[in-house]
Amino acid sequence: MNRIFIGIFLVAVLLSPAGNGYAQIRITAPKDGSTVSRETIVTGTASIPKGHHLWILARRNDFEPLWWPQREAKIDDKTGEWRATVAFGGPQDIGWEFNIGVITVNNAGHTILMNYWKKAMKSGDWRLVEIPKVSSPPKILKVTKMSH
Protein backbone atom coordinates (compact mmCIF):
# COMPACT_ATOMS: atom_id res chain seq x y z
CA MET A 1 0.00 0.00 0.00
CA ASN A 2 2.82 2.42 0.85
CA ARG A 3 4.45 1.74 -2.52
CA ILE A 4 1.23 2.64 -4.33
CA PHE A 5 0.89 5.87 -2.35
CA ILE A 6 4.53 6.78 -2.99
CA GLY A 7 4.09 6.02 -6.69
CA ILE A 8 0.97 8.18 -6.97
CA PHE A 9 2.69 10.97 -5.03
CA LEU A 10 5.74 10.90 -7.33
CA VAL A 11 3.57 10.99 -10.45
CA ALA A 12 1.63 13.97 -9.02
CA VAL A 13 4.86 15.81 -8.21
CA LEU A 14 6.34 15.13 -11.64
CA LEU A 15 3.19 16.32 -13.41
CA SER A 16 2.72 19.47 -11.33
CA PRO A 17 4.20 22.74 -12.65
CA ALA A 18 6.24 23.43 -9.53
CA GLY A 19 7.39 19.85 -9.18
CA ASN A 20 8.73 19.34 -12.68
CA GLY A 21 10.78 22.52 -12.88
CA TYR A 22 8.55 24.16 -15.48
CA ALA A 23 6.97 27.55 -15.16
CA GLN A 24 3.38 28.29 -16.03
CA ILE A 25 3.07 31.90 -17.18
CA ARG A 26 0.03 33.75 -18.45
CA ILE A 27 -0.20 37.38 -19.60
CA THR A 28 -3.68 38.77 -18.90
CA ALA A 29 -3.15 42.37 -20.09
CA PRO A 30 -2.56 43.94 -22.47
CA LYS A 31 -4.03 41.66 -25.11
CA ASP A 32 -1.95 40.61 -28.10
CA GLY A 33 -2.37 43.23 -30.84
CA SER A 34 -3.34 46.06 -28.45
CA THR A 35 -2.21 49.64 -28.83
CA VAL A 36 -0.16 51.30 -26.09
CA SER A 37 1.26 54.72 -25.29
CA ARG A 38 4.62 55.55 -23.67
CA GLU A 39 4.12 52.89 -21.02
CA THR A 40 1.56 50.38 -19.89
CA ILE A 41 0.94 48.01 -17.01
CA VAL A 42 1.40 44.36 -17.90
CA THR A 43 -0.39 41.82 -15.71
CA GLY A 44 -0.60 38.09 -15.49
CA THR A 45 -0.38 34.98 -13.42
CA ALA A 46 2.51 32.62 -12.89
CA SER A 47 3.66 29.56 -11.04
CA ILE A 48 7.43 29.15 -11.20
CA PRO A 49 9.89 26.81 -9.48
CA LYS A 50 11.70 27.99 -6.37
CA GLY A 51 15.01 29.69 -7.14
CA HIS A 52 13.69 31.21 -10.38
CA HIS A 53 12.61 34.76 -11.13
CA LEU A 54 9.99 36.28 -13.44
CA TRP A 55 11.28 39.14 -15.62
CA ILE A 56 9.44 41.44 -18.00
CA LEU A 57 11.17 42.61 -21.19
CA ALA A 58 10.36 44.93 -24.09
CA ARG A 59 11.78 45.58 -27.54
CA ARG A 60 10.84 47.24 -30.76
CA ASN A 61 10.17 44.40 -33.19
CA ASP A 62 13.03 45.38 -35.52
CA PHE A 63 15.56 45.16 -32.65
CA GLU A 64 15.35 41.37 -32.38
CA PRO A 65 17.15 39.50 -30.74
CA LEU A 66 18.01 42.25 -28.22
CA TRP A 67 15.72 43.43 -25.39
CA TRP A 68 15.30 46.12 -22.75
CA PRO A 69 14.88 44.38 -19.38
CA GLN A 70 12.06 46.25 -17.65
CA ARG A 71 12.01 44.74 -14.15
CA GLU A 72 11.48 41.64 -12.11
CA ALA A 73 7.81 41.00 -11.48
CA LYS A 74 6.98 39.82 -7.98
CA ILE A 75 4.44 37.00 -7.91
CA ASP A 76 1.79 37.10 -5.17
CA ASP A 77 2.22 33.89 -3.14
CA LYS A 78 -1.53 33.45 -2.64
CA THR A 79 -3.01 34.43 -6.01
CA GLY A 80 -0.11 33.86 -8.41
CA GLU A 81 -0.76 37.32 -9.87
CA TRP A 82 1.97 39.72 -10.96
CA ARG A 83 2.11 43.18 -12.53
CA ALA A 84 4.80 45.46 -13.90
CA THR A 85 5.06 48.74 -15.79
CA VAL A 86 6.67 48.51 -19.23
CA ALA A 87 8.07 51.48 -21.20
CA PHE A 88 8.05 51.63 -25.01
CA GLY A 89 10.82 53.94 -26.20
CA GLY A 90 10.44 57.59 -27.15
CA PRO A 91 8.38 59.71 -29.56
CA GLN A 92 10.41 58.37 -32.50
CA ASP A 93 8.90 54.92 -31.84
CA ILE A 94 5.24 55.92 -32.41
CA GLY A 95 3.70 53.57 -34.98
CA TRP A 96 6.18 50.77 -34.32
CA GLU A 97 5.25 47.30 -33.17
CA PHE A 98 6.80 46.21 -29.87
CA ASN A 99 7.19 42.82 -28.24
CA ILE A 100 6.56 42.29 -24.55
CA GLY A 101 8.39 39.25 -23.25
CA VAL A 102 7.87 37.46 -19.97
CA ILE A 103 10.64 35.06 -19.02
CA THR A 104 11.93 33.09 -16.09
CA VAL A 105 15.61 32.85 -15.22
CA ASN A 106 17.57 31.04 -12.55
CA ASN A 107 19.49 32.91 -9.84
CA ALA A 108 22.53 33.46 -12.10
CA GLY A 109 20.38 34.95 -14.87
CA HIS A 110 18.52 37.05 -12.30
CA THR A 111 21.81 38.49 -11.04
CA ILE A 112 22.80 39.49 -14.59
CA LEU A 113 19.46 41.19 -15.23
CA MET A 114 19.32 42.86 -11.81
CA ASN A 115 22.85 44.27 -12.21
CA TYR A 116 21.87 45.68 -15.63
CA TRP A 117 18.65 47.14 -14.22
CA LYS A 118 20.33 48.82 -11.24
CA LYS A 119 23.02 50.35 -13.46
CA ALA A 120 20.44 51.59 -15.98
CA MET A 121 18.22 53.06 -13.24
CA LYS A 122 21.18 55.03 -11.84
CA SER A 123 22.67 56.14 -15.15
CA GLY A 124 19.63 56.42 -17.41
CA ASP A 125 21.55 54.35 -19.99
CA TRP A 126 19.00 51.80 -21.19
CA ARG A 127 20.96 49.95 -23.85
CA LEU A 128 19.53 46.89 -25.54
CA VAL A 129 21.05 43.65 -24.24
CA GLU A 130 21.09 39.95 -24.90
CA ILE A 131 19.01 38.04 -22.41
CA PRO A 132 20.65 35.34 -20.30
CA LYS A 133 19.52 31.73 -20.70
CA VAL A 134 15.85 31.37 -19.80
CA SER A 135 14.56 28.59 -17.57
CA SER A 136 11.21 28.19 -19.36
CA PRO A 137 9.79 29.06 -22.77
CA PRO A 138 9.15 32.81 -22.96
CA LYS A 139 5.66 34.27 -23.38
CA ILE A 140 5.69 37.02 -26.01
CA LEU A 141 2.94 39.30 -27.25
CA LYS A 142 2.88 42.15 -29.73
CA VAL A 143 1.57 45.66 -29.18
CA THR A 144 1.76 48.85 -31.25
CA LYS A 145 2.87 52.15 -29.77
CA MET A 146 0.37 54.79 -30.88
CA SER A 147 1.22 57.82 -28.70
CA HIS A 148 3.84 59.19 -26.32
From first to last of its 148 residues, the chain has per-residue pLDDT tens of: 544 434 333 333 333 444 445 789 999 999 999 999 999 999 999 999 999 999 999 999 999 999 999 999 999 999 999 999 999 999 999 999 999 999 999 999 999 999 999 999 999 999 999 999 999 999 999 999 999 8
Helix H or strand E segment including 142: strand 139-145
Domain membership of residue 121 (yes or no) is yes
Burial class (CB in 10 A: 0-12, 13-18, 19+), 12: exposed
> Domain containing 36 — which CATH number?
2.60.40.10
40: amino acid identity, one letter:
T
Domain membership of residue 1 (yes or no) is no
Number of domains the chain contains: 1
Domain membership of residue 92 (yes or no) is yes
CA–CA distance from 85 to each of 5, 15, 71, 88, 135 (Å)? 45, 33, 8, 10, 22
What is the residue range of 37's domain? 22-145
